[in-house]
Chain A
Amino acid sequence: MSEVSKGPAAPASATQLEVTEVRRGMFGAGDSGDTSGYGGLVRPVVMPGPSARPYGSWFDDVVDILGEVLADGGLAFDDAVEKVVVDLHGAATADAPQAELTLYVRREHLVPVCQALRDDQDLRFELSLGVSGVHFPYETGRELHAVYHLVSVTHGRRLRLETVAPDEDPHLPSTVSVYPTNDWHERETYDFFGIVFDGHPALTRIEMPDDWVGHPQRKDYPLGGIPVEYKGATIPPPDTRRSYS
Chain B
Amino acid sequence: MSATASVPHATLPADDGLAATVRAFEAYGDGDWDDIAREAVGEERIVVNMGPQHPSTHGVLRLMLEIDGETVTEARAGIGYLHTGIEKNMEFRTWTQGTTFCTRMDYVAPFFQEAGFCLATERLLGITDDVPERASVIRVLMMELNRITSHLVCLGTGGNEMGATTVMTVGFTAREEILRLFEAVTGLRMNHAYIRPGGVAVDVPEGFTAQARDALENVRHYLGQLGDLMLANPIFKARLTDVGALNLAGCMALGITGPVLRSTGLPYDVRKAAPYCGYETYEFDVPTGTGADCYTRAVLRLEECYQSLRIVEQALARLDATAGAPVMVADRKIAWPAQLAVGADGQGNSLEHIKKIMGTSMEALIHHFKLVTEGFRVPAGQAWQTVEHPRGELGVHVVSDGGTRPYRAHFRDPSFNNLQAVSVMCEGGQVADVVVAVASLDPVLGGVDR
A and B: bona fide binding partners:
yes
Interchain CB contact (< 8 A) of A90 among B125, B268, B375 = B125
CA distance A8 to B21 in the complex (A): 53
Give the complex CA separation of A128 and B252 in angstroms: 8
Which chain B residues lie closer than 8 Å to A96 at the CB level? 128-129
Docked CA distance A125–B340 (Å): 45
B93 within 8 A of A: yes
Q: Select one of A87, A151, A211, A217 contacting B382, CB under 8 A.
A: A87
Contact A149 B274 (CB under 8 A): no
- Contact indicator per residue, chain B 123-157, by CB within 8 Å of chain A (1) or not (0): 11111110000000000000000000000000000
B128 touches A89 (CB 8 A): yes
Question: Which one of B92, B255, B374 lies within 8 Å of A181 (CB-CB)?
Answer: B255
Q: Is B265 an interface residue (CB 8 A)?
A: no
Known: A181-B253, A239-B92. A149 touches B384 (CB 8 A): yes
A206 engages B405 (CB within 8 Å)? no
- A47 CA / B359 CA spacing, docked (Å): 43
With known contacts A149-B395, A211-B23, A217-B87, A206–B80 Cβ distance under 8 A: yes
Chain B contacts with A in 70-106, Cβ cutoff 8 A = 79-80, 83, 85, 87-89, 91-93
Q: Does B337 contact A (CB under 8 A)?
A: no
Interface size on A, residues (CB 8 A): 64
Contact with A along B265-301 (1 / 0, CB 8 A): 0101000011110000000000000000000000000
B401 engages A45 (CB within 8 Å)? yes
- Determine how close the nearest CB of chain B comes to the CB of A59; give it in whole angstroms: 15
B9 contacts A90, C-beta separation under 8 Å: no
Which A residues are CB-close (under 8 A) to B14?
none
Interface residue from B4, B93, B255, B257 paired with A179 (Cβ < 8 Å): B255
Q: Determine whether A238 belongs to the interface, using a CB cutoff of 8 Å to chain B.
A: yes
B10 within 8 A of A: yes
Taking CB as reference atom, which chain A residue is nearest B409?
A: A132
Contacts of B403 in A (CB 8 A): 243-245
CB neighbours of A223 from chain B (8 A):
85, 88-89, 91-92
Q: Find chain B residues with CB under 8 A from A76 CB.
A: none
Question: Interface range on chain B: under 10, 10 to 19, 20 to 34, or 35 or more?
Answer: 35 or more
Flag if B397 contacts A185 (CB, 8 Å): no
Asked if A158 and B124 make an inter-chain contact with CB atoms under 8 angstroms apart, the answer reads: no
Give the distance to chain A from B251, nearest Cβ to Cβ, in Å.
9
Closest to A160 in B: B384
Give residues of chain B (14-71) contacting chain A, Cβ–Cβ below 8 Å: 21-23, 25, 32
Q: Which of B11, B85, B125, B401 contacts A226 (CB 8 A)?
A: B11
In the complex, which of the residues A46, A129, A244 contacts B393, with contact meaning CB atoms closer than 8 Å?
A: A129
Q: How far is B123's CA from A42's CA once the two chains are assembled, in angstroms?
A: 26
Among A87, A97, A149, contact of B275 (Cβ-Cβ < 8 Å): A97
Q: How far is the CA of A98 from the CA of B404 in the complex (A)?
A: 22
Is B236's CB within 8 Å of the partner chain A?
A: no
Find chain B residues with CB under 8 A from A37 CB. none
1/0 contact string of B383-413 vs chain A (CB within 8 Å) = 1101000000101010101111101101010
Selected from A43, A102, A185, A221, the residue in CB contact (under 8 A) with B417 is A185
Question: A103-140 interface mask toward B, CB cutoff 8 Å, 1 = contact, 0 = none?
Answer: 00000000000000000000000111110111100000
Q: Which residue of A lies closest to B386 (CB)?
A: A129
User: Is the CB of B442 closer than 8 A to any CB of chain A?
Assistant: no
Closest approach, in angstroms, between the C-beta of A147 and any C-beta of chain B?
6
Q: A184 and B80 in contact (CB under 8 A), knowing A46-B402, A211-B23, A213-B8?
A: no
Q: Does more than half of chain A's interface fall in helix, strand or loop, or is it mixed?
A: loop
A91 within 8 A of B: yes
Expressed in whole angstroms, the Cα–Cα distance for A182 and B255 within the complex equals 8
Q: How far is the CA of A151 from the CA of B386 in the complex (A)?
A: 11
Knowing A91-B128, A222-B9, A224-B11 are in contact, say whether A153-B266 is a contact too (CB < 8 A).
yes
Is B427 positioned at the interface, with any CB of A under 8 Å from its CB?
A: no
CA distance A156 to B23 in the complex (A): 49
Contacts of B252 in A (CB 8 A): 126-127
Q: Which of B254-270 contact A (CB under 8 A)?
A: 254-257, 266, 268
- Cα-based distance from A190 to B91 in the complex (angstroms): 19
Q: Which A residues between 163 and 211 are near B, CB-CB below 8 angstroms?
A: 179-185, 188, 205-211
**A142–chain B nearest beta-carbon distance, Å:** 14
B416 proximal to A (CB < 8 A): yes
CB distance from B82 to the nearest CB of A (A): 9
How many angstroms from the CA of A174 to the CA of B193 in the assembled complex? 37
B413: nearest chain-A partner, CB-CB: A130
With A45-B402, A153-B266 in contact, is A238–B254 under 8 Å at CB? no
Q: Does B380 reach chain A (CB closer than 8 Å)? A: yes
Give the residue of A149, A181, A208 whose beta carbon is less than 8 angstroms from that of B254: A181
Collect the chain A residues with CB atoms within 8 Å of residue B224's CB. Answer: none
Are A208 and B420 closer than 8 Å at their CB atoms?
no
Check if B9 sits within 8 Å of A207, measured CB to CB: no
Q: At the interface, yes or no: B7 with Cβ under 8 Å from chain A?
A: yes
Interface pair B80/A207, CB less than 8 Å apart: yes
Flag if B255 contacts A128 (CB, 8 Å): yes
- A21 CB–B CB distance under 8 Å: yes
> B433 an interface residue at 8 Å Cβ cutoff?
no
**Are the CB atoms of A21 and B386 closer together than 8 Å?**
no
Query: Contact: B88 with A216, CB < 8 Å?
Result: yes
Query: Measured between alpha carbons, how far is A180 from B9 in the docked complex, in Å?
Result: 33
Closest to B377 in A: A244
B449 interfacial by beta-carbon distance below 8 Å: yes
Known: A129-B393, A208-B80. A217 touches B32 (CB 8 A): no
B348 in contact (CB, < 8 A): no
Besides A134-B399, A222-B9, 19 more A-B contacts (Cβ < 8 Å) are: A45-B402, A46-B380, A46-B402, A47-B381, A89-B381, A90-B123, A90-B125, A126-B252, A130-B255, A134-B408, A149-B412, A151-B393, A181-B255, A183-B420, A185-B412, A213-B21, A225-B11, A238-B89, A239-B92
Shortest 4 CB-CB distances between A and B: which pairs?
Answer: A90-B126, A181-B255, A214-B8, A132-B410
- 18 A–B contacts, CB within 8 A, in A order: A43-B402, A48-B380, A97-B274, A97-B276, A128-B255, A130-B412, A130-B417, A132-B408, A147-B382, A147-B397, A184-B420, A185-B412, A216-B85, A222-B4, A222-B7, A222-B9, A243-B92, A244-B404
